[in-house]
Amino acid sequence: MSSQIPDAQHAAAHAKADTTSLGDLLGEVTRDLSTLMRQEIELAKAELKQSGTRAGKGGGMLAGAGIAGHFVLLFLSVALWYALGELMGLGRAAVVVAIIWGIIAAILATTGRKELKNIKGLPQTLETAKEIPPTLKPNGDHR
């Protein structure tokens, strides 16, 4: 019985092709492509929203960790300052600790800039949309 279903669909497709004009068929294809493009855009929006929500939560957690880590480093720096102060005086020890932090800041800034330059674009859906043949794109955009 399942072999009859494809035959029935095949016959219905032929009947539709025989009774429908080429303009109507092209109109259906255009509507279907338009629907597909709208669905792809909605999917991309949903992906962006989900990614943004996750990034916001993760960013908040990292900000809290950063503040806590800042206090740890602050107190460790003060301890190092006092320890070095016993050897060379508090003034010179403060300069040494400041130079150490300057070097660390320069390394982190350089590494951070490299990472920011490596950021990729939008989610996968937009990559999928790029695969649509150029002749099917709206506004005659044939690149």
Question: What are the structure tokens assigned to 19, written together?
Answer: 């009774």
Phi-psi category of 119—alpha, beta or left, where left has phi over 0 and alpha has psi -120 to 50? Answer: beta
H, E, C per residue of 42-75 = HHHHHHHHHHHHHHHHHHHHHHHHHHHHHHHHHH
Question: What are the structure tokens assigned to 76, written together?
Answer: 């460790």
Interacting residues of 129 by C-beta distance below 8 A, sequence separation 6+: 37, 40, 41, 44
Tokens 């955009």 -> residue = 141
Alpha helices (runs of H) in 20-140, residue ranges in sequence order: 22-88, 90-117, 124-130
In this structure, are residues 62 and 134 in contact, taking their beta carbons and an 8 Å threshold? no
14-41 pLDDT per residue, tens: 777 777 787 887 888 888 888 888 899 9
pLDDT at residue 46 in the model: 87
pLDDT at residue 119 in the model: 80
pLDDT at residue 11 in the model: 78
| pLDDT beyond 70 at 71 | yes
pLDDT-derived band at 92 (thresholds 50, 70, 90) equals: very high
| pLDDT beyond 90 at 106 | yes
Give dist(CA 109, CA 103) in Å, integer.
Answer: 10
Higher-pLDDT residue of 34, 121? 34
- Using only C-alpha atoms, what is the Rg of the chain? 31
Give dist(CA 69, CA 62) in Å, integer.
Answer: 10
| pLDDT beyond 60 at 140 | no
In this structure, are residues 90 and 81 in contact, taking their beta carbons and an 8 Å threshold? yes
